[in-house]
Amino acid sequence: MKWDAATYDTHHEFVSKYGENLLDLLPQNSRQNILDLGCGTGTLTKQLAQYGTVLGGDGSSQMIQQAKKNHPEIDFQVMDALALPFDNDWNIIFSNAVFHWISDHETLLAQIYQSLTPKGILICEFGAAGNIQIIEESFQQAIQEAGYDYCSKFTFPKTEIFKQQLVAQGFSIEMIDDYDRPTPLSDGKAGLAIWGRQFFEAELAELLEHEQAIIIQRFTELAKACWQQDHWVADYRRLRVVAHK
């Protein structure tokens, strides 16, 4: 997926905002080193720097470029979460709103386990089963009505499945929980259209502009259950994990 880092910063700041309370789960130890896996434009990476030595990593060069511009005092690197170049290096691997973009959770967890120090900690949150169900089903219907196929690129696991994957990899689970997190979108009536153009960018990119406009309009009509008075509320569900190596 091609990320528009500027749009992400200005219209989807809720992603990092809702991830802030994950920081409360970090140990208080200034000597620990922390990998922010899937750091985006670096908003939470900046805050993580208060908890130790931090490196921000993301698979998107656009996001890393923006992160370096936003926070030049912090180290950022482009990296593939399924091929991490580390071996027992990190006390904590932190990740917010990333794992649902990765289909191979077995390989992901194996890479994280290898990268953590003995007794290292994985702290993460991402989309749970049922996340954006109304939004995604509405987009699917809209694009199919226009004569195109839709195949979801998201992986929103059931809690029990992800728990089994953690245990199979060797993790000891301190906490694993899923919960509803209705998320207000900014930009009023345009909010869901802006969200859709960012997160369904790959599906829309192959279409002509007028086709995109028709699909987005139909998409917002079908997702009307997410409209509340004067703004859109995305039907988010999250899975939160603290697990030890």
Integer CA distances (angstroms), 85 to 57, 80, 88, 109, 237, in order: 11, 9, 10, 14, 31
- Give the pairing of strands 227-228 and 237-244: unpaired
Here the tokens at position 224 are: 């009307």
In this structure, which amino acid lies at residue 236? Y
Cβ proximity of 63 and 55 under 8 Å: no
pLDDT band at 11 (very low <50, low <70, confident <90, very high): very low
Gap between the Cα atoms of 4 and 60, Å rounded: 10
Side by side, which strands form the sheet with 227-228? 183-184, 231-234, 227-228
Residues in a beta bridge with 127: 238
| Helix locations, 172-208, DSSP H | 191-199, 201-205
pLDDT digits (tens, 9 = 90+) for 194-231: 999 999 999 999 999 999 999 999 999 999 999 999 99
pTM: predicted TM-score of the whole model, two decimal places: 0.90
Quick: pLDDT tens for 157-190.
999 999 999 999 999 999 999 999 999 999 999 9
| pLDDT tens digits, one per residue of 47-78 | 999 999 999 999 999 999 999 999 999 999 99
Q: Cβ neighbours of residue 236 under 8 Å, at least 6 residues apart? A: 127, 131, 132, 180, 181, 182, 183
Q: Which two tokens stand for residue 55?
A: 């490196």
Range 26-40 average pLDDT: 95
pLDDT confidence of 18, banded at 50, 70, 90? low
Confidence class for position 21, pLDDT limits 50, 70, 90: confident
What integer pLDDT is reported at residue 19 of this predicted model?
A: 57
Strand pairing of 172-180 and 237-244?
Answer: antiparallel
Rounded to 5°, the CA angle 199-130-173 comes to 105
Nearest residue to 89 via CA among 97, 99, 100, 79: 79
Domains, the chain, ordered by start? 5-244 (3.40.50.150)
Q: Could you give the CA distance from residue 1 to residue 63 in angstroms, rounded to a whole number?
A: 12
